[in-house]
């Protein structure tokens, strides 16, 4: 019996990391809340019909977050596959059965070109294709409107850091989609907190919004949820696992379902102001301790692009060391390895995200970042 996670990875020869880079899947997502782990253990004792459990869990999620309806998916990315499949099939069992064959039915998804992102191919799983509106720098309402045709199955929309500048905003885009009788489908996977976002995008008109359960909600890593209109949640449920559909490989276990519910309950109950203040105080102590380092400008940012207070370390023109990804690589080179955000919005900065920094780890994060910044700034 291993006594700790460290025993397990030590036996495997895997080195731990301190995660100061946020809930990134490749770096283990986030730490599931104790409530979620307890609920998963407890749920393993019973057998149920998964359809019945999913229906009841969807109702509970809707109540918890103040949505009209909800269902559970395998991560937010599983939710994107399900959104697209729902848009194409709209509850038609014959169509559901033959996806990804979309021959003869509207299969185009309109997307603002500035919203193209690394996970968007999930939207193409059910035999769909993109029609892009606007260009990399943005999109106008007219351009979005013009991209819609009788082959369009839905309009998709991304809410994500650094992706909503110069684009058609959520209310207007929803209005355009609905003006053509089309579903408006939102990926807001990482937009929690603020908890207000649980209602914001559905209030703005979204038919389905996909959120991650394994990021700041701190449910099981593999979970996600769709919130939206009852009709569209039902279409989504019909194309989703456990049914033998295009999304069958995206199953979520009863333990994961119970884990997400417990995590979400705890997430919505948390005092967001107190949580934010706690993160801000931590980041203030980081900034204080890093002090002045030649060639850097260090600040705390908390806004649309930074879901909780982050320490942002920018490299100015006088910086003599490696770029952001280079510095991040140095921090991972030797133990204690520290993972920070880099390369996300260009090569000139790294971020410290407090979400996954465990009690007692902050001094190590500060010491390692300070050490590597000083070494690099002196040209070594």
Rule CB under 6 A: which residues touch ligand PLP? 25, 75-77, 117, 119, 160, 187, 189-190, 212, 214, 224
In whole angstroms, what is the distance from residue 16 CA to residue 33 CA?
20
Compute the least distance from the CB of residue 224 to ligand PLP, in Å: 5
Compute the least distance from the CB of residue 300 to ligand PLP, in Å: 22
Measured from the CB atom, the residue of 6 and 162 that comes closer to ligand PLP is 162
Measured from the CB atom, the residue of 224 and 321 that comes closer to ligand PLP is 224
Compute the least distance from the CB of residue 197 to ligand PLP, in Å: 12
Measured from the CB atom, the residue of 29 and 183 that comes closer to ligand PLP is 29
Compute the least distance from the CB of residue 82 to ligand PLP, in Å: 12
In whole angstroms, what is the distance from residue 225 CA to residue 137 CA?
30
Q: Cα 108 to chain center, whole Å?
A: 24
Measured from the CB atom, the residue of 25 and 143 that comes closer to ligand PLP is 25
Measured from the CB atom, the residue of 136 and 284 that comes closer to ligand PLP is 136
Measured from the CB atom, the residue of 71 and 190 that comes closer to ligand PLP is 190
DSSP 369: H
Compute the least distance from the CB of residue 201 to ligand PLP, in Å: 12
In angstroms, what CA-CA distances link 97 with 56, 82, 165, 207, 248?
25, 14, 39, 23, 12
Nearest Cα to Cα of residue 132 among 120, 144, 118, 149 = 144
In whole angstroms, what is the distance from residue 8 CA to residue 265 CA?
30
Backbone angles phi, psi at 154, to 5 degrees: -175, 165
Compute the least distance from the CB of residue 270 to ligand PLP, in Å: 20
Torsion of CA 152, 153, 159, 162, to 10 degrees: -30
Residue sitting closest to ligand PLP (CB): 75
DSSP 247: B
In whole angstroms, what is the distance from residue 79 CA to residue 208 CA?
9
């Amino acid at each position: 019996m291993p006594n700790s996670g460290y025993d397990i990875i030590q036996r495997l020869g895997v080195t731990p990391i301190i995660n100061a880079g946020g809930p990134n899947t490749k770096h283990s997502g986030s730490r599931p809340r104790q409530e979620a782990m307890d609920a998963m253990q407890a749920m393993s004792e019973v057998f149920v019909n998964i359809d019945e459990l999913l229906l009841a869990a969807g109702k509970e999620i809707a109540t918890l977050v103040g949505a009209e309806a909800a269902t559970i998916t395998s991560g937010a990315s599983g939710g994107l596959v399900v959104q697209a499949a729902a848009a194409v099939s709209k509850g038609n069992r014959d169509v559901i059965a033959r996806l990804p064959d979309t021959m003869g039915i509207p299969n185009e998804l309109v997307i603002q070109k500035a919203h193209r992102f690394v996970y968007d191919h999930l939207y193409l799983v059910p035999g769909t294709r993109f029609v892009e509106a606007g260009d990399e720098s943005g999109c106008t309402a007219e351009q979005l409107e013009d991209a819609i045709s009788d082959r369009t199955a839905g309009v998709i929309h991304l809410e994500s850091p650094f992706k909503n500048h110069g684009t058609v905003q959520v209310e207007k885009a929803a209005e355009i989609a609905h003006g053509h009788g089309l579903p408006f489908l939102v990926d807001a996977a990482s937009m929690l907190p603020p908890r207000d976002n649980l209602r914001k995008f559905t209030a703005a008109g979204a038919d389905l919004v996909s959120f991650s359960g394994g990021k700041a909600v701190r449910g099981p890593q593999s979970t996600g949820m769709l919130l939206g209109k009852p009709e569209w949640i039902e279409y989504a449920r019909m194309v989703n696992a456990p049914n033998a559909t295009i999304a069958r490989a995206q199953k979520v276990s009863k333990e994961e379902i119970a884990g997400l519910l417990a995590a979400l309950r705890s997430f919505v109950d948390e005092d967001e102001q107190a949580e934010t203040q706690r993160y801000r105080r931590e980041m203030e102590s980081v900034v204080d301790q890093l002090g002045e380092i030649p060639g850097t400008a260090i600040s705390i940012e908390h806004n649309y692009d930074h879901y909780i207070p982050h320490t942002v370390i920018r490299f100015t023109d006088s910086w003599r060391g490696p770029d952001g990804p280079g510095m991040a690589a140095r921090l991972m080179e030797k133990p204690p390895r520290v993972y920070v955000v880099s390369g996300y919005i260009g090569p000139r900065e790294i971020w410290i995200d407090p979400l996954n920094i465990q009690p007692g780890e902050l001094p190590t994060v500060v010491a390692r970042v300070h050490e590597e910044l000083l070494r690099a700034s002196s040209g070594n």
